[in-house]
Amino acid sequence: MRFKNLSQMHLVDDAAIDAGFGIYIHWPFCEAKCPYCDFNSHVARQIDHRVWAKAYVAELERYREELGPVPIQSVFFGGGTPSLMEPEIVETILLCLSESWGFAQKPEITMEANPSSVESGRFRDYRNAGVNRISLGIQSLNDDDLKSLGRIHTADEGRRAISIAQEVFPRVSFDLMYARQNQSLAAWQSELAEALSFGVTHLSLYQLTIENGTAFGRRFKKGKLPGLPDQDLAADMYLVTQDATAAAGLPAYEISNHAADGAQSRHNLIYWRGGDYVGIGPGAHGRIAAHGQRIATDTPLEPEAWLAAVECGSGDKSRETLTARDTALEYLMMSLRLVEGCDLRRLPSTFLNMAKINELRDMGALEMTNSHLRATEQGRALLNYILTEIWNDD
């Protein structure tokens, strides 16, 4: 059995969905480790794809038995580099979800991919397996910068992958990084204009951040990562990004994500709106409603450790029951990233410092209605500061 444009999937009425429910599948393998990356990814020469398919299905069936028939709004294949998975694994997973869980109407099924010729050559197979949205890790349209970032594709390969993806998938997104080494404001404006010229309906535009535990992090501590922009230049790059994307019909809906109307990532909105999601695979995290409680789950980081845990009956490393305070803080931190902001009806007022909220509102960093609190464009650039100010630690 093969899916064709999702028409054969078992669908459930959208009315059954509350805040949203998604499935995250983590494929932990990459061809090479990028020096800026702090995701759980591993380079492996040999991978038994059948073993991995069996483990994913076992975990999905375990969660289905625990949670019941929750209709799935979105599936996200992340990594690592999930476009290195055999298309048959993707099809097996989606068949399992269709038969055991059931999908909401018009489910979003996303796969992350890199723009190498090997991966783009598989696009049609992934589409036939049920994937209807692709997210490409382009990162730069400049060959010298791609080399500095440790990417193994060229800028032309990136351009070709975007073109192929647009022919195959109804929804295409790609990522770019700015505030790279020795990057000028004019150079970023030119690169951003080219990115917008492709006509995709979604762009993820991130500032390069130096994370501890990465190769870039180690170089930075030794003073061997020259040319990083200062805060003022990085802020200018952020602001021109907002202006250019809005003018092109892809305004920001989240700090780093821009989309045409209706093209927002529904899976990521589940995270940012505090919905539930099952995390499957090494290093995957989840938030589920079970036994009348909200539970945070995580899994072993090492691929072999996760497979061994699944073989013993559960891929979970730990589970934590979240308190009302934990849940509220997490929701506030995630939802204020969104232009729509957070629903105050979900936040007990005792958790918020209303005096600070009013002060920041007077400064133009926050806006508030009877039901919602949101950061302004100015405020989203200062979000970490705002969160520490308005959360009541007492």
Buried b (16+ CB within 10 A) or exposed e, 186-219: eebbebbeebbebebbbbbbebbebeeebebbee
Tell me whether residue 230 is in a domain. yes
Tell me the pLDDT of the chain (394 aa) as tens digits: 344 444 455 544 343 346 789 999 999 988 775 665 555 566 766 789 999 999 999 999 999 999 998 899 999 999 888 988 999 999 999 999 999 999 999 999 999 998 886 678 899 999 999 999 999 999 999 999 998 888 888 999 999 999 999 999 999 999 999 999 999 999 999 999 999 999 999 999 999 887 787 777 787 788 877 888 898 999 999 999 999 999 999 999 999 999 999 999 999 999 999 999 999 999 999 999 988 899 999 999 999 999 999 999 999 999 999 999 999 999 999 999 999 999 988 888 889 999 999 999 999 999 998 789 999 988 998 899 999 999 987 6
Q: How many CA atoms lie within 13 A of 283 on its CB side?
A: 16
Shared domain check, 250 and 157? yes
Measure the CA dihedral 370/374/379/383, to 10°. 120
Shared domain check, 232 and 84? yes
The CATH number assigned to the domain holding 109 equals 3.20.20.70
Measure the CA dihedral 219/138/304/298, to 10°. 90
Shared domain check, 358 and 222? no
Question: 159 forms bridges with which residues in the sheet?
Answer: none
Domain count, the chain: 2
Tell me whether residue 158 is in a domain. yes
Tell me whether residue 349 is in a domain. yes
Q: What is the DSSP string of 168-231?
A: H-SEEEEEEEES-TT--HHHHHHHHHHHHHT--SEEEEEE----TTSHHHHHHHTT--TT---H
Shared domain check, 261 and 337? no
Q: From CA 45, how far away is CA 66, in angstroms rounded?
A: 35
Q: Quote the tokens at residue 115.
A: 């723009």
Last residue of a domain, one of 248, 271, 294: 271
Shared domain check, 258 and 175? yes
Tell me whether residue 288 is in a domain. no
Tell me whether residue 284 is in a domain. no
Shared domain check, 16 and 159? yes
Q: Are strands 21-27 and 72-79 parallel, antiparallel or unpaired?
A: parallel
Last residue of a domain, one of 271, 299, 333: 271
The CATH number assigned to the domain holding 366 equals 1.10.10.920
Shared domain check, 344 and 262? no
Q: Are 339 and 252 in contact (CB under 8 A)?
A: yes
Shared domain check, 178 and 327? no
SS3 sequence of 217-275:
HHHHHCCCCCCCCCHHHHHHHHHHHHHHHHHCCCCEEECCEEECCCCCCHHHHHHHCCC
User: CB count, 10 Å around CB of 354?
Assistant: 12
Tell me which residue range forms the domain holding 330: 323-394
Shared domain check, 328 and 248? no
Tell me whether residue 279 is in a domain. no
Tell me whether residue 266 is in a domain. yes
Shared domain check, 249 and 137? yes
